[in-house]
Amino acid sequence: MYNKGLLIYNGHAGSLTPELLGTALSILSLALSELNVRRTDQPGEAQQLCKELGEQYDVVYILGGDGTVHECINGLALLDHPPVIGVLPGGTCNDFSRALMMPQQMAKAAEVLNERYTRTIDIGTVNGQYFTNFYGIGLIAETSQNINPDLKGAFGKISYFLSTLQTVRTAEPFTFHLTHDEGESDGEAIMIYVANGRFLGTNPLPFPASSLEDGLLDVLIIREAGLPLLRELVSRKTEEVWNPQYSNIDYIRTTKATLTTAQPMPADMDGEIYLETPAELGVLSGKLTFLIGEPVADIQ
272 counts as catalytic: yes
Phi, psi (deg, nearest 5) at residue 193: -120, 120
Q: 168 to each of 10, 173, 204, 212, 250, how far by Cα in Å? A: 31, 11, 20, 29, 19
Residues 238 and 204: beta-carbon distance below 8 Å: yes
3-state SS, 38-59, equals: EEECCCCHHHHHHHHHHHHCCE
Strand partners, 193: 136, 220
DSSP H helices in the chain:
18-28, 45-53, 66-76, 95-99, 106-115, 139-146, 149-155, 158-168, 227-234
Cα gap 112→93, rounded to integer Å:
19
- Other beta carbons within 10 Å of 207: 22
The active-site residue out of 184, 272, 276, 294 is 272
Phi, psi (deg, nearest 5) at residue 253: -115, 130
Cα gap 162→166, rounded to integer Å:
6
The catalytic residue positions are: 272
